[in-house]
Amino acid sequence: MANQKVIRKRIASVKSTQKITRAMKMVAGARLNRAQQRITAMRPYAMKTTAVLAEVTAAARARSSQSQATEDEGNPLLAQREVNSRLLLVITADRGLCGAFNTNINRRSHSVWRDAVRNGQTIKLCIIGRKGRDYFRRRSAPIQEVFQGVWDQLGLEQARRIGRSILEPFIRGDVDSIDLIYNEFKSAMTQRVVVERLFPLPPMAPSDARDPETEPVDAPEFQFEPSQQLVLERLVPMYIEISILRALYESMASELGARMTAMDSATKNASDIIDKLTLQYNRARQAAITKELMEIIGGAEALKG
């Protein structure tokens, strides 16, 4: 039977851990409410920005093809190249203790990387978060850049910094596509790993909501002022920034939800361990008392003899 002193120390240790996990759960829950509000406000704006850019780029492509634009008039932001080289922007957390949050995103990113290599594509990785950085460095992955301090001051400026950095290789022609890999927030208990093409946007298909009898299915007409090039040079970075910011907010909310769920589970597990240790301690104490009584009775019988 285990020593009572050892069991008491284990119970005290588990209770101390339980206090920490309960506090972490409460903090994550409070922060999750704010993160959910940011996502609710951001999602419609991000979706509308994507829709507007899709229509504008479709109109620009149609205009270029109709006018048979020369090479000098071509816009690199509208380039639709065969995808031989991809840039993956992987969004992970800086900290652990959030269940399988980081494991899921790292494994999915690793799978995308390996599948692309098998298909003959070249991959470059841009990493947000220490967990992703450490994971891919251990596997000698082709990391192009690691963005530091994103979660410390999360906001539009961070998204703008990241957007500029990942858009430059596409404009130069070093990569043919940019993909986002992040955890999309569904609920506190559910997060979904998303692999999403960020750029270039595919050619816009006619909207299912458009009535073909009353509205034309062709791309809408736009007048570009002062020029198509300048409009796209402003609109594309805006779309990239908003899309990245939305992904960061989604990832932050997913991390907090995963941490809250993990800490809740850890708190409940600590309670189960405390109950088992308490039962074990009571049995050890009862055994010690019984042993002492037997020794007393044995001594008394020996004296009588």
**Residues 135-147: what's their mean pLDDT?**
94
pLDDT at residue 2, rounded to an integer: 60
Residue 305 has pLDDT above 70, yes or no: no
pLDDT, tens digit, 9 for 90 and up, residues 151-204: 998 999 999 999 999 999 998 889 999 999 999 998 888 899 999 999 887 665
Q: Which of 79, 82, 58, 47 is nearest to 204 (CA)?
A: 58
Q: Do 101 and 113 have their domain in common? A: yes
Going by the DSSP 8-state scheme, the letter that residue 174 receives in this structure is: S
Report the catalytic residues.
98
CATH number at residue 121: 3.40.1380.10
pLDDT at residue 299, rounded to an integer: 79
pLDDT at residue 73, rounded to an integer: 45
The amino acid that residue 177 corresponds to is S
**Residues 115-127: what's their mean pLDDT?**
94
Q: Do 61 and 178 have their domain in common? A: yes
Token digits for 94? 């800086």
Q: Do 268 and 193 have their domain in common? A: no
Q: Are 93 and 152 in contact (CB under 8 A)?
A: no
Q: Are 203 and 58 in contact (CB under 8 A)?
A: yes
When pLDDT is cut at 50, 70 and 90, the band that residue 214 belongs to is: very low
pLDDT, tens digit, 9 for 90 and up, residues 30-58: 999 889 888 888 888 888 888 878 877 77
Arithmetic mean of pLDDT over the chain: 85
Q: Do 187 and 140 have their domain in common? A: yes
Q: Do 166 and 252 have their domain in common? A: yes
Token digits for 273? 């361990």
Element of type H or E holding 90? strand 85-91
Residue 212 in any domain: the answer is no
Beta pairing partners, 182: 194
Going by the DSSP 8-state scheme, the letter that residue 185 receives in this structure is: E
Q: Do 39 and 70 have their domain in common? A: yes
pLDDT at residue 126, rounded to an integer: 96
Domain that holds residue 116: 23-202+221-261
When pLDDT is cut at 50, 70 and 90, the band that residue 218 belongs to is: low
Q: Do 11 and 97 have their domain in common? A: no
Q: Are 130 and 103 in contact (CB under 8 A)?
A: no
CA 221 to chain centre: 38
Distance (Å, whole) CA 60 – CA 67: 11
Q: Are 204 and 218 in contact (CB under 8 A)?
A: no
Q: Do 91 and 237 have their domain in common? A: yes
When pLDDT is cut at 50, 70 and 90, the band that residue 64 belongs to is: low
Q: Do 298 and 226 have their domain in common? A: no
When pLDDT is cut at 50, 70 and 90, the band that residue 136 belongs to is: very high
When pLDDT is cut at 50, 70 and 90, the band that residue 66 belongs to is: low
pLDDT at residue 65, rounded to an integer: 57
Quick one: what percent of the chain has pLDDT higher than 70?
85
Q: Are 178 and 167 in contact (CB under 8 A)?
A: yes
User: Could you give the number of structural domains in the chain?
Assistant: 2
Pairing relation of β-strands 190-199 and 177-187? antiparallel
When pLDDT is cut at 50, 70 and 90, the band that residue 235 belongs to is: confident
**Residues 85-91: what's their mean pLDDT?**
95
When pLDDT is cut at 50, 70 and 90, the band that residue 210 belongs to is: very low
Going by the DSSP 8-state scheme, the letter that residue 208 receives in this structure is: T
